[in-house]
Structure 1
Amino acid sequence: MKILITGATGSVGNTLLPLLAEKGHELIVLTRNSKTAQSVFLLIVKKLNGKKF
């Protein structure tokens, strides 16, 4: 399943992403800090950058 996670570097996303990746899901994350996401989540297939409005 393809899953979009917003707030991927937060406490919920940080816990949820490894569990979903372990189950084989395709993960897409939305985060304001792509460097943090890249260093923490090496299994991410796609990254989307978001900024505050």
Structure 2
Amino acid sequence: MSKPKKKRTKTKIKVPPGHRLIWRPWITVNGKRIHASERGIKAFPIVVPVAA
């Protein structure tokens, strides 16, 4: 019998003033590209500062 999959809960991402939230299909960690699809998601959320 296989284990039941965990349900992923949505978490609210807090975006501080002067920043915005962007979504990317991959991120770079230690020089290696990690694709969101490898983690079972569509994209990674990234908080970036807004240019003035």
Under TM normalisation by the shorter chain, which class is it? under 0.3
Give the structure with the larger strand fraction.
Answer: 2
Which has the larger Rg? 2
Higher helix share: 1
TM-score, normalising length: structure 1:
0.22
